[in-house]
Amino acid sequence: MSDIRSLEQKRQEALDKANRLKKQIDKKLNGQKFVLGGMLMAIAEHEPDRIPQILADLDKYVTRKADISRLEGFRSEIGNNVPRSTILTSSEPNRTSSDDDIT
């Protein structure tokens, strides 16, 4: 019986250690995400010509409803800072030149 208790105790200690390590990993990852988010916000502020790509990346990579709603204010704010020249350029359809285009 004592062998079983000893094994159960060792098992629980291993689970506790695994949980502590998981928390450390999660904390580190969350810190990295926080820093990357700040960097992305700084890019949007200081390099407005990159805003259309940032918005496209948000559409592509942010898929959870909770995350989408969490970023609504950010999207609105940077969307208002898109330079007009970028809007005109990015809204034009991509065309390839052909002999028909030559006049």
Q: Where are the extended beta strands (E) located within the chain? A: none
Spatial separation of the C-alpha atoms in residues 34 and 30, rounded to whole Å: 6
pLDDT band at 97 (very low <50, low <70, confident <90, very high): very low
Spatial separation of the C-alpha atoms in residues 59 and 6, rounded to whole Å: 52
pLDDT, tens only, 48-76 = 999 999 999 999 999 999 999 999 999 99
pLDDT band at 103 (very low <50, low <70, confident <90, very high): very low
Spatial separation of the C-alpha atoms in residues 103 and 94, rounded to whole Å: 19
Residue 90 scores a pLDDT above 80: no
Instruction: Please state, for a pLDDT cut of 70, what percent of the chain lies above it.
Output: 81
Q: What global pTM score does this model have? A: 0.62
Tokens 């350029």 label which residue?
A: 89
